[in-house]
Amino acid sequence: MDFMQALQARESCRAYQDKPVSREQLLKIVEAGRLSPSGCNAQPWKFIIIDEPEAKAKMSDALVVEGGATGCPWRDSVPAFIALVEQPAKVMPAVKEYYGDTQRFAQGDIGMAAMNMCYEAMDLGLSTCVLGMCDQAKMEQYFGVPEGHEVRMVLAVGYSAEDKEPRAKVRKPLEEVCSFNKW
């Protein structure tokens, strides 16, 4: 499979087989995140693997935010999660000076890590879904995430129980999102 085929084939998975994912596999996925590029090479991330039953139950609860909304109604069937938490970034002085913020690149960095992790999972025969919404206070309470260290994404990881044929991609047309030499 070439890279464009992989881009077409990767898709968010929302139904998983009742089959565990090994720690070796989970660590390979994290390694793909760890090797990702980041602004000033700040690597402003921490990856928390959640694979034990008690921790998974807590993660399931944290995926329901205050008010009851969740992006993951199928959370109880997920074999493992990886939380991607933003860390304070050490950036070049000029970056901090210009933007007045050390965290300017951090969310983009975490997005890059997340994408590499999704493709490494795919290479291992696993499927993923990025989950953008979780309850920060619960993550701090349940997993000891330090206050103010935002959980930016949670990856659901497991063996897909969905149809084998990839869905057609729903994307904005190229001409809407791309231009040459001007807006």
Ligand X SMILES: Cc1cc2nc3c(=O)[nH]c(=O)nc-3n(C[C@H](O)[C@H](O)[C@H](O)COP(=O)(O)O)c2cc1C
Least distance CB 97 / ligand X (angstroms): 29
Nearest 10 degrees: Cα torsion 99, 102, 108, 113: 160
Q: How many CB atoms lie within 10 A of CB 105?
A: 19
Output the smallest distance, CB 94 to ligand X, in A. 29
SS3 sequence, 126-176? Answer: CEEEEECCCCHHHHHHHHCCCCCCCEEEEEEEECECCCCCCCCCCCCCHHH
CB of 156 to ligand X, least distance (A): 8
Query: Nearer Cβ to ligand X, position 35 or 69?
Result: 69
Cβ nearer to ligand X, comparing 4 with 94: 4
Residue 116 beta carbon to ligand X: minimum distance, rounded to whole angstroms? 13
CB 120 within 8 A of CB 47: no
Closer to ligand X by Cβ: residue 145 or 153: 153
Interacting residue ranges for ligand X, rule: CB under 6 A? 11-12, 14, 71-72, 129-133, 153, 169
> Which residue number has the CB closest to ligand X?
71
Nearer CB in complex with ligand X: 40/130: 130
Q: Are 182 and 111 in contact (CB under 8 A)?
A: no
